[in-house]
Amino acid sequence: MKIIQGGVCAPLGFKASGVHCGIRKNKSKEDLALLVSDVLCSAAAVYTTNKVKGAPIIVTKAHLENGRAQAVICNSGNANTCNIDGVEKAERMCALTSEYTGIPAQDVIVASTGVIGQVLPIEPIEGGMKALVAGLGREGAGKAARAIMTTDTVAKEFAREDVIGGKVVRVGAMAKGSGMIHPNMATLLCFVTTDAAVSPRMLDKALHAAVEDTLNMVSIDGDTSTNDMLTVMASGLSGAEEIDKEGEEYEKFTALLTAVLTDISRAIAKDGEGATRLLECKVSGAPDIPTAKKIAKSVVCSSLLKAAISAADANWGRVLCAIGYTDAQFDIDKIDVDLSSKAGSIAVCRNGSGVPFDEDEAKKILSLDEVCVRVNCNIGKACATAWGCDLTCDYVKINADYRT
């Protein structure tokens, strides 16, 4: 498996574009993205579990009922949620895509991100379509990735390739996500492309499997968004035979998809609103995978631990506290905890009790921009990883004046 450049345009058959159309006041910031395939693709998606859902999700769900899509249009700066005319505006975005590209409106995925409860002005989108379509190209992946950003500080785009069925197969992705992110997919906007040939049924199966170990293991602040979704389109242009059943090719494709979504997950956690550190929790020795996942999530979701990590304070008791209120069965008296980073590793807890350690060494370890809490349950073989970030004063500042 090889890391490659190109984001969503790394797989064969995809072009992208991004422009500033005027939804956002900042004219230097792209706010409208378009991703198109040369051919009709197999498609699948996962959506937010929030009962309040943005209008774009309603429209996209209807369009993907047949498991096919050929384009994605997405705006930032306005979520198009809780609006009387929301569905009408989302459908209009699909119609505009069809008008300017020739792709049927029902084959268009639509998404929006930004402030909830404000009417989405359609005029800027109408006025930006000509330039948006004119800019389509394989080199447009970066602009598209920037156009879907809200409070993100960096664009998030990744791609990898592997040999599957004797052919080189590529998977690319772009995502936005920095706040209002909590497990139970989808907790962000993420658009994935691949030139693998995969039936809609198996694509859906692979996506759900990959999401369970990646994006569903990310938490920034405990808030699950109203608009978020992850979609994947498979063009089949790699030349590999179609994956229409489980087997070696399906497993390799799922592994490739999982690797790219792991890259996305880490990038989202590291770029959490106001964050200065990526917080990773690796659980081993658990009795089963569900328990391992629950413990890992509980640790990265702990506000007390996240605050301690922001100060590089090895307050390991907060780790034990978060493990202790996990809704799962295990023996807390067998728990070991280590803190680690590229600066080293230090044991802070053995058999559920503290052990002597050098505070200065611990602070050095926790001062790097990526830190890991390693938890060993010592009662089984199951493992899981979750990702989060530290909690800083800047998180409050960003969200206190988000609308203004």
165: left (phi over 0), alpha (psi -120 to 50) or beta: left
Active-site residue, selected from the candidate residues 60, 97, 150, 187 = 187
Measured in degrees and rounded to the nearest 5, phi and psi for residue 326 equal -70, 135
> Six-digit token pair at 32?
């409208």
Helices within 271-400 (DSSP H only): 289-301, 303-310, 317-324, 359-366, 393-400
Rounded CA separation 320/305 (Å)? 10
Distance, in Å, from the CA atom of 31 to the CA atom of 90, rounded to the nearest integer, reads 15
| Edge-to-edge strand ranges of the sheet holding 370-376 | 353-354, 344-350, 336-341, 370-376, 278-286, 382-389
* Beta pairing class for 189-194 and 167-176: antiparallel
Helices 303-310, 317-324: axis angle to 10 degrees equals 160
Q: How far apart, in Å, are the Cα atoms of 158 and each of 139, 173, 184?
A: 14, 5, 22
Catalytic residue check, 187: yes
Cite the active site residues. 187
